Amino acid sequence: MTTNEPVDDFIIIGIDFGTTYSGVAWAYSREPEEIELVTSWESEFNNCSDVDKAPTQLLYDDKKGTSWGYSIPASEDALKWFKLLLLDSDDVPIMVSKSSQMRCAQKLLDKMKKDPVEVIACYLRKIWNHAIDSIQRAVGAELLQKSPFHVVITLPAIWPPYAQQRMKQAAKTSGILDARSCGETKLRFISEPEAAALATIKDLSKRSTMKIGDTMVICDAGGGTVDLISYQIESTSPFVVKECVKGDGGLCGGVFLDEQFLELIKRKLTPGSWDSVTSAEEKKFLNECWEHGIKSQFSNQNRDWVVDLPDSCNATSSSGKLKRRKTLELSSSDILSAYTPIVDRIEGLVRRQAQAVMSKLGKPAKYIILVGGFGRSSYLYSKLRSAFFESTVLQSRGNKPWSAICRGAVVHGITNHGLSATLGVTVGVRVARNSYGVKFMTEFDPQKHRQSDKYWSEDHQEWYSTNQMKWFLREGDNMLIKKPVRHHYRRLYSQRIGHVSTTIYICSEFPPPSLPDRPWRNYVYHELRYEVEMTCEDGTVDFTLYHEGKRVGAHNVDVQFR
DSSP code string of 98-123: TSHHHHHHHHHHHHHT--HHHHHHHH
CATH code of the region 11-192+405-427: 3.30.420.40
Residue 554, SS3?
helix
Residues 6+ apart with CB under 8 A from 147: 9, 10, 11, 28, 29, 139, 182
Q: What are 330's strand-pairing partners?
A: 305
Give me the architecture of the 207-252+342-402 domain, per CATH.
2-Layer Sandwich (3.30)
Residues recorded for the chain: 562
Those residues of the chain that have pLDDT short of 70 are 1-7, 44-49, 315-325, 419-424, 479-502, 508-511, 513-532, 534-562
Summarize pLDDT for 496-549 with one digit per residue, the tens.
Answer: 555 556 677 777 666 676 656 544 333 333 344 556 676 666 656 666 666 666
Q: Are 237 and 208 in contact (CB under 8 A)?
A: no
Predicted local distance difference test score (pLDDT) of residue 436: 77
Q: From CA 471, how far away is CA 392, in angstroms rounded?
A: 39
The Cα–Cα gap between 125 and 307 comes to: 38
Predicted pLDDT of residue 257: 95
* Sign, Cα dihedral of 51, 55, 61, 66: positive
CA dihedral (122, 123, 126, 128) in degrees, to 10, reads: -110
Q: How many CA atoms lie within 13 A of 85 on its CB side?
A: 23
> Taking the model in full, what pTM does it have?
0.81
Contacts of 385 (CB under 8 A, 6+ apart): 393
Please, where are the H alpha helices in 365-506? 378-387, 400-416
The whole-number pLDDT of residue 68 equals 95
Using an 8 Å Cβ cutoff, are 121 and 83 in contact? no
| Cα torsion through 508, 509, 511, 517, rounded to 10 | -100
pLDDT given at position 522: 36
Beta bridge partners of 492: 527
Same fold for the pair 11-192+405-427 and 207-252+342-402:
yes
Alpha carbon separation from 532 to 416, 465, 552 (Å, rounded): 24, 21, 10
Task: Give the pLDDT confidence score for residue 519 in this predicted structure.
Answer: 40
Instruction: Quote the pLDDT of residue 521.
Output: 35
Cα–Cα distance measured from residue 39 to residue 47, given in angstroms and rounded to the nearest whole number = 12
Predicted confidence at residue 416, as pLDDT, reads 82
Please tell me the distance from the alpha carbon of residue 57 to that of residue 38, in angstroms, as a whole number.
17
Distances (CA, A) of 555 to 177, 444, 500: 13, 36, 14
The DSSP output letter for 318 is B
- Measured CA to CA, the distance from residue 287 to residue 298 in angstroms comes to 15
Beta-strand pair 327-331/321-323: antiparallel
Residues 6+ apart with CB under 8 A from 524: 459, 491, 492, 493, 494
Domain residue spans in the chain?
11-192+405-427, 207-252+342-402, 254-339, 435-561
According to the model, what pLDDT value does residue 131 have? Answer: 97
Instruction: Encode pLDDT of 296-341 as tens digits.
Output: 899 999 999 999 999 888 765 455 555 555 889 999 999 999 999 9
DSSP letter assigned to residue 375? G
pLDDT at 149: 96
Q: Tell me the residue type at 78.
A: A
- Going from the C-alpha of 533 to that of each of 163, 407, 426, the distances in angstroms are 21, 30, 23
DSSP code of residue 79: B
SS3 content of the chain, % helix, strand, coil (to 5): 35, 30, 40
